[in-house]
């Protein structure tokens, strides 16, 4: 953190300040008062930064929790879809149904090509739209 320099002219008058002790004392009190004001302003800034930091960390943690929950559910859903499709493949092989086998294998390939992370981009755009008070929804 950079120290703030406050110009205070305690010795501006040179030796004249020492000839009048009351004026010298007044300058010291003025300099100390100015120092206390600046010190309080800097403490206030540090408290504001600390509050911002806490709020930002809470926001990041809540977004992380939502993302992890989304990914958990998304991958659970994908795993279930793969299990169901491989079950269809097994039944198609057992029944010698090549058409059903081809459709199931095509579905497995398409599901493997898709990524839950692509849907996150859509989720992010929806989130941005929800956060934007000027966004106009079109149905």
Question: Tens digit of pLDDT for each residue in 77-87?
Answer: 888 888 999 99
> Full-prediction pTM beyond 0.75?
no
Question: Tens digit of pLDDT for each residue in 75-134?
Answer: 778 888 889 999 999 999 999 888 998 999 999 888 888 776 666 666 667 677 667 777
Residues 6+ apart with CB under 8 A from 17: 10, 11, 23, 24, 27
Q: What is the DSSP letter of 16?
A: H
Per residue in 87-116, is it b (16+ CB within 10 Å) or e — as a string? Answer: ebbeebeeeeeeeebeebeebbeeeeeeee
Residue spans per domain, the chain = 16-128
């Amino acid at each position: 953190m950079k120290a703030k320099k406050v110009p205070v002219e305690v010795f501006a008058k040179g030796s004249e300040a020492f000839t009048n002790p009351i004026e010298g004392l007044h300058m010291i009190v003025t300099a100390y008062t100015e120092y206390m004001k600046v010190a309080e302003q800097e403490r206030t800034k540090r408290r504001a930064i600390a509050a911002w930091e806490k709020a930002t960390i809470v926001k990041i943690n809540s977004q992380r929790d939502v993302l992890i929950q989304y990914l958990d559910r998304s991958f659970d859903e994908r795993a279930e879809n793969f299990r169901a499709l491989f079950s269809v493949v097994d039944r198609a092989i057992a029944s010698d149904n090549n058409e059903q086998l081809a459709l199931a294998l095509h579905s497995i390939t398409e599901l493997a090509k898709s990524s839950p992370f692509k849907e996150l981009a859509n989720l992010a755009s929806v989130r941005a739209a929800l956060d934007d008070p000027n966004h106009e929804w079109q149905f």
